[in-house]
């Protein structure tokens, strides 16, 4: 179901079939001020959107990049049919070891992020072991820890950097600063490319670098909409003039997942840090953008640095809104997943069966989590629970996610100067399942 700005309201614009909807969009390709370049049609006899949209509803829309349109592909109970007026972009990226990449994930040292990054690293190793031994593109892995050293230093390759002195109650504020310090304090990586990642990522298959040429490739987020906040975006552009057309062309992305050349990220990171701190300190921007302000910081910093991104909607799946593994590469388990015991999806209502990572903020999930109900039809949610169960069964000391119990409560590397701990990165890999 493609998103976009509405050119013609579909509830009262009824046509016979998808072809007629396509033709209606074609007839408005030159409409002003907003031409039609994507369309969405309801073919279901009982209507769409829970019956709120009648059969035959034809929504005409505009997206800034119709060659790579965005929108949920297989959300629960989604009968819509969508199409684009543009020829599809090549989203496969280039194969070959010259595009090998290094995964870089930022975390602090609390149990909540620790169990997630342990699970993530476990699945990174497992999928890397499956890739082509000669041409596979998955390279190294670094956890950039913006905190005191913890007990995972020997399990996960880690570089310790400084945490911001004042995160202003928003721990994600340290993320841009961590990437900035990655280039200042951490050992140089041998790969030319980086996959910017987060702890709540699971790898569904061996990953390919989806970049074409030097252009970064990023997952688009529907809620990052620079054009809807022209005053705020311009406030953080400094002396750079930005037109309405520029706003519409800005990347609707965050900082993860993103494939990028390390020299481009090296250029973006300081500006990303500075812009994000300014956004957080601005009462209006902080209120408007809230928990995604760091993502807006990255989008703005990329524009200021002259770096544009290609969009890759299939880079990441987000259950429960996505349902099938399909050709996704990453499972992002940021949303809660709620179902009744018969498997019925209960959005907005806590289910009798649920998986929500926020359940385990103080420690790791118990081993052998209950699998979803038999009638539940979301393949990704099943994969998620099975993946966590496999990691918990395979990784040692699962109930000690930060490893601090094993260290007697003392930080790893105690007595080392902060700049010295930046190079602690032994990371003895553990076999993946």
pLDDT in tens, 396-422: 999 999 998 877 766 554 322 233 333
- Note every long-range contact of 390-395, with CB atoms under 8 Å and residues 24 or more positions apart, other chains counting: 390/122, 390/433, 391/118, 391/119, 391/122, 391/123, 392/119, 392/364, 392/365, 392/366, 392/367, 392/368, 393/367, 393/368, 394/122, 394/430, 394/432, 394/433, 395/118, 395/122, 395/155, 395/430
Residue 432 has pLDDT above 50, yes or no: no
State in Å, rounded, how far the first CA of the chain is from the last one.
37
| pLDDT, position 168 | 94
pLDDT at 77: 61
pLDDT at res. 74? 58
Calpha distance 105→35 (Å, rounded)? 40
Peptide linkage before 76 cis (omega within 30 of 0): no
| Residue range 294-339, pLDDT digits in tens | 999 999 999 999 999 999 999 999 999 999 999 999 999 999 999 9
Residue predicted with more confidence, 424 or 98: 98
Q: Over pLDDT 90: what percentage of the chain?
A: 85
Residues 6+ apart with CB under 8 A from 112: 357, 360, 361, 362
Helix, strand or coil, per DSSP, at residue 255: strand
8-12, 31-35, 185-189: least confidently modelled range:
31-35
Structure tokens at 143: 């956890």
Tell me the CA distances in angstroms from 385 to 177, 330, 349, 354, one per residue in order.
32, 15, 20, 10
Min mean pLDDT across 46-50, 125-129, 159-163, 269-273 is at: 46-50
Token code pair at residue 36: 């039609």
What confidence score (pLDDT) does residue 430 get? Answer: 28
Instruction: Write out the two tokens for 79.
Output: 């009968």
Residue 423 reports pLDDT greater than 70: no
Please provide residue 56's backbone torsions phi and psi, each rounded to the nearest 5 degrees.
Answer: 95, -5
DSSP 225-240: -GGG-HHHHHHTSTT-
- HEC sequence for 300-352: HHHHHCCCCCEECHHHEECCCCCCCCCCCCEEECCCCEEECCCCCECCCCCCC
β-pairing verdict for 330-332 and 316-317:
parallel
Structure tokens at 295: 């993502």
In angstroms, the CA 16 to CA 27 distance is 16
pTM (predicted TM-score): 0.87
- Nearest Cα neighbor of 298 from 280, 273, 321 is 273
| pLDDT, position 390 | 98
Q: How does DSSP classify residue 82?
A: E
For the segment 47-65, what is each residue's pLDDT rounded down to a tens digit?
Answer: 998 889 999 999 999 998 8
The pLDDT score that the predictor gives to residue 71 is: 80
Integer Cα distance of 231 and 214 in angstroms: 31
Rounded-to-integer distance, Cα 214 and Cα 225, Å: 24
């Amino acid at each position: 179901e493609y998103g976009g700005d509405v050119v013609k309201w579909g509830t009262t614009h009824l046509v016979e079939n998808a072809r007629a909807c396509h033709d209606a969009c074609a007839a408005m390709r030159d409409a002003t001020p907003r031409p039609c370049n994507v369309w969405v049609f309801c073919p279901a006899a009982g209507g769409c959107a829970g019956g709120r949209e009648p059969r035959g509803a034809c929504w005409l829309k505009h997206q800034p990049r119709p060659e790579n349109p965005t929108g949920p592909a297989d959300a629960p109970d989604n009968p819509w049919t969508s199409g684009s007026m543009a020829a599809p972009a090549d989203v496969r990226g280039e194969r070959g070891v010259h595009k090998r990449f290094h995964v870089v994930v930022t975390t602090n040292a609390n149990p909540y992020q620790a169990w997630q990054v342990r699970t993530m690293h476990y699945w990174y190793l497992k999928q890397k072991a499956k890739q082509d031994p000669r041409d596979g593109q998955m390279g190294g892995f670094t956890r950039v820890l913006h905190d005191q050293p913890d007990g995972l230093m020997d399990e996960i390759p880690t570089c310790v950097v400084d945490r911001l002195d004042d995160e202003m109650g928003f721990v994600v504020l340290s993320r841009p600063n961590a990437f900035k310090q990655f280039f200042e304090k951490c050992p140089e990586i041998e790969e030319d490319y980086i996959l910017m990642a987060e702890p709540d990522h699971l790898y569904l298959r061996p990953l390919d670098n989806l970049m074409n040429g030097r252009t970064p490739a990023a997952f688009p987020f529907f809620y990052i909409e620079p054009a809807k906040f022209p005053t705020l975006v311009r406030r953080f552009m400094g002396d750079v003039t930005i037109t309405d057309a520029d706003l519409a062309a800005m990347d609707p992305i965050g900082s993860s997942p993103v494939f990028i050349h390390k020299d481009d990220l090296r250029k973006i990171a300081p500006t990303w840090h500075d812009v994000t701190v300014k956004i957080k300190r601005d009462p209006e921007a902080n209120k408007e953008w809230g928990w995604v302000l760091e993502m807006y910081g990255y989008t703005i910093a990329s524009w200021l640095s002259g770096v544009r991104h290609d969009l890759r909607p299939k880079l990441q799946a987000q259950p429960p809104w996505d349902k099938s593994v399909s050709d996704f590469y990453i499972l992002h388990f940021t949303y809660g997943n709620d179902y009744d015991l018969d498997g019925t999806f209960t959005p907005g209502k806590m289910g009798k069966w649920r998986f929500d990572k926020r359940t385990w903020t103080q420690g790791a999930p118990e081993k052998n989590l209950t699998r979803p109900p038999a009638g539940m039809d979301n393949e990704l949610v099943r994969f998620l629970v099975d993946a966590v169960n496999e990691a918990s069964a395979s990784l040692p000391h699962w109930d000690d996610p930060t490893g601090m119990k094993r260290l007697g409560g003392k930080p790893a590397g105690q007595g080392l100067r902060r700049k010295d701990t930046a190079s602690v990165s032994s990371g003895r890999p553990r076999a993946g399942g």
